[in-house]
Structure 1
Amino acid sequence: MILPKFANIKIQFSLKTQNIITITLNTTTTILQSAQKTILEESKSISQLTDYLTVEFAEAVLKIYETKGRLVVTGIGKSAIIAQKIVATLNSTGTPSLFLHASEAVHGDLGMVQPGDIIICISKSGNSPEIKVLVPLLKRHDNILIGMTSDRNSFLGKESHYIMHAHVDKEACPNNLAPTNSTTAQLVLGDALAVALMELRQFKSEDFALYHPGGALGKKLLLRVADMLDTTHTPQVTPEASIKKVIMEISEKRLGVTAVIENEKVIGIITDGDIRRMLNTNDTFTHLTAKDIMTKNPKNISSEILVSEALSILENNSITQLVVIDNDNYKGILHLHDILKEGIV
């Protein structure tokens, strides 16, 4: 058994079994120190990237912004994984992009690269055999090639039209082998690219929501009251309805409220809270009707407003239900619980 050199070891030996029966490694402090060292080394590498930003980065961003073609991002090994993440970020922020695995490219996938496309090729060394084979093929249609590499003087660096200089002095790996600082640098440059393009496109949160309609942000920015309003349960009573009828309507529709309708118009609402207050102040309610206990001029909204706006109205007024009215026509009740179930909050 090989034990970590930094471990404090406690060994108990059993004469009966002649086996080591317990090994206690007091490594918590050292593990935390190792993690802190990695984080600090990577953050230092990232902060130094600003020293390698030149006008060339801006020119490459503008070429991508102005192209009528697509953006193809390629790489191999860990750089390929970073390329996939960059593509995902670009696609979700308004820059149509494709991922091309460098090793698969020479086995048929190169066909996805069309004239007019711009290509970003990611490689730390810029000198791997796959990159040397691939780069001339990527440029065969006079495509613009942007190299993201740590070495400007590498094969990729010299063959690229523009360089995104993802230079790192070393890896956080103790053997200076496993891609750590280098892949983080690539990732950050990819984010810098995506954000710069977003700003050029004036890409707003509403645009982002269009690409994420199923997420919480998409719902918050796109979902309207009409999209979630249950029109099959529209509790309503007449002004002359008995309190018993009111209670039955509230209970049956299970929204904790009923609208009071006169001449097809909402003139008030009655909530379960109104019922409790009525019971506290009256020994009997046989003489009361809906109009006696209703709240007049209730808060109401249009079914066309965003659910997020409706939520703000609910919160600002410390209420849990809103009457939905379109052109004076009663459409139903929006309940806070319905909004919560959608995951918007």
Structure 2
Amino acid sequence: MKPLTDVNTIGKNVLLQEAEAIRGVAEAISQTGDFQECVTTILGLRGRVVVTGIGKSAHIAGKMVATLNSTGTPALFMHAADAIHGDLGMIQAGDFVICISKSGDTPEIKVLVPLLRRKQVPMAALVSNRESYLAKQADFILHAPVEREACPHNLAPTTSTTAALALGDALAVALLESRGFTSRDFAHLHPGGTLGKKLYLKVGDVSRQNQAPQVSDNAGLREIILEISGKRLGATAVLDAAGSLQGIITDGDLRRMLTNFEPERLGEVRARSIMTPNPVTIEIDEFAAEALARMQARNITQLVVTEADRFQGFIHLHDLLREGLV
């Protein structure tokens, strides 16, 4: 068994080797115009991008399809082995095929390519070998040059699959930016889970579930304490007679006040004298993820929620924890 230090070195070397391969892929993009022509062709499609491969390349193809779909490019996965048993029917006029194969010369690929050509749809070959059968049959070559695998026997697909994966990401992002695909577009395709909440959940969706503690700027200590305790948010807003936000009083403000006022003067305490003026606020229609960012940046646990500068309530860190944003 390898000593732990040797294992760490092996892991580091694998990552460095794969990083070097990705640099080689980046350089290959600028050596021909195929990458740009591929993007241009896909942008003009009436149909979908169909990505195919076999073995480990099929797994990379599946991931590429998922990334394309999530960034605004309709895509389908077709396993190369299943293609010759009926799945070729998914390819329609107006589609675009990307075939992934490191060597470009496997028997399955040589069987599949003529069948794809009969479909008379544009085809790109994502290959390491530009002189392969697949590359010579394709309309476009997405070149992912790899000298050897990270596997010490140069057998297990490692560096080659990483390079293909990275090139697929580059293609998806190039399409995304060319389309002007926005975070709002992204949100429409990712409504579920934490990611969807970060992109969709608004401050008002959360704050409306809370009570809205508030006192006048002339409120006394008893009223302040009852409002903070009764609404259970650890704070209350302070409003003037016109209903405009003047400040905020938190549990911490009350504790600090008790160290500054003599007991016999507690009856003189007014909200305006102990509040924190100009509290941090957030508009009700902003994203809840932005509320979290502001809390973290200022090391606070709640924000005052406003609408057109009028007090609407509070959003608390616990709300965001409950929604799974933290």
TM range (shorter): 0.7 to 0.9
Residue of structure 2 aligned with 1:283, choices 263, 267, 274: 263
1:125 and 2:114 correspond? no
Is 1:304 matched up with 2:285?
yes
Contact kept, 8 Å, 2:51 with 2:97, in 1: the verdict is yes
Distance in 1 between the 2:279 and 2:23 partners? 56
Instruction: Report matched runs for 1:224-235 at 5 Å.
Output: 224-235=202-213
Mapped partners of 1:201, 1:308: distance in 2: 25
Given residue 180 of structure 1, which amino acid in structure 2 is its aligned partner? T
Q: Which moved more, 1:78-87 or 1:37-46?
A: 37-46
Gaps of 5+ in 2: none
1:14 maps to none
Match of 2:4 in 1: 28
Q: 8 Å contact 2:28–2:144 — kept in the other structure?
A: no
* Aligned 8 A contact 2:148 2:154 in 1: yes
- 1:87 is aligned, of 65, 69, 75, to 65
Residue of structure 2 in register with 1:47 after alignment:
23
Structure 1 residues 182, 271: CA separation in 2 closer, same or farther (over 3 Å shift)? closer
Cα distance change, pair 277–158 in 1 and its aligned pair in 2 (3 A): closer
Distance verdict in 2 for CA 1:245–1:43, change over 3 Å: closer
- Could you give the per-residue CA deviations for residues 59-90 of structure 1, whole angstroms, max 9, x where no partner exists? 12211122121101010100001111212222
TM-score (norm 2): 0.82
Q: 1:132-177 deviations in whole A, cap 9, x for unaligned? A: 2322332333111111122333332232121212332333333332
Contact 1:259–1:266 at 8 Å: present in 2 too?
Answer: no
Partner SS, residue 277 of structure 1: helix
Letter in 1 for 2:134: L
Question: In 1, Cα distance between the equivalents of 2:72 and 2:135?
Answer: 28
Find the aligned partners of 1:43 and 1:328 in 2 and give their Cα distance.
50
Q: Please report how far the alpha carbon of residue 255 of structure 1 lies from its aligned counterpart in structure 2 after TM superposition.
A: 0.9
Residue identity matched to 1:46: I
Amino acid across the alignment from 1:225: V
Q: Structure 1 residues 136, 245: CA separation in 2 closer, same or farther (over 3 Å shift)?
A: same
CA displacement at 1:204 relative to structure 2: 4.2
Aligned-residue RMSD, C-alpha: 3.2
Greater CA drift, 205-214 or 48-57: 205-214
Inter-partner Cα distance in structure 1 for 2:161 and 2:155? 12
Give structure 1 stretches of 5+ with no counterpart.
Answer: 1-24
**For the residues of structure 1 that align with 2:244 and 2:319, how far apart are their CA atoms?**
22
The SS at the match of 2:118 is: coil
Amino acid at match of 2:287: L
| Bigger-Rg structure (1/2) | 1
Where do 1:155-166 residues align within 5 Å?
155-166=133-144
Alignment of 1:197 onto 2:209: no
**TM-score normalised by the chain length of structure 1:** 0.78
CA contact (8 A) 1:120 1:148 kept: yes
Residue number in structure 1 paired with 2:155 = 177
Partners of 2:316 and 2:154 in 1: how far apart? Answer: 58
**What's the secondary structure of 2:77's corresponding residue?**
strand
Q: Which is richer in helix?
A: 2
Secondary structure of the residue aligned to 2:263 is: coil
Identity of aligned residues (%): 52
Q: 2:302: which partner in 1?
A: 321
1: CA distance, partners of 2:18 / 2:275: 64
Question: Relative to structure 1, is the Cα distance of residues 239 and 204 closer, same or farther in structure 2, using a 3 angstrom cutoff?
Answer: closer
Matches within 5 A, 1:48-67: 48-49=24-25, 50-51=27-28, 53-67=31-45
Indicate yes or no: 2:248 matched with 1:272: no
Aligned counterpart in structure 1 of residue 48 of structure 2, from 66, 70, 77: 70
Q: Could you say what secondary structure the match of 2:50 adopts?
A: strand
Alignment partner of 1:146 is 2:127: no
Paired positions, count:
321
Which digits, 9 at most, give the CA deviation of each residue in 1:90-119, with x for residues without a partner? Answer: 222222211111112223322222111000
**1:318 Cα deviation after fit:** 6.2
Distance in 2 (CA, whole Å) between partners of 1:150 and 1:327 is: 57
Partners of 2:306 and 2:35 in 1: CA distance: 53
- Single out whichever of 302-311 and 135-144 deviates more from structure 2: 302-311
Hey, what does 1:11 align to over in structure 2?
A: none
* Alpha-carbon distance in structure 2 between the residues aligned to 1:26 and 1:190: 35
Higher mean displacement: 35-44 or 119-128:
35-44
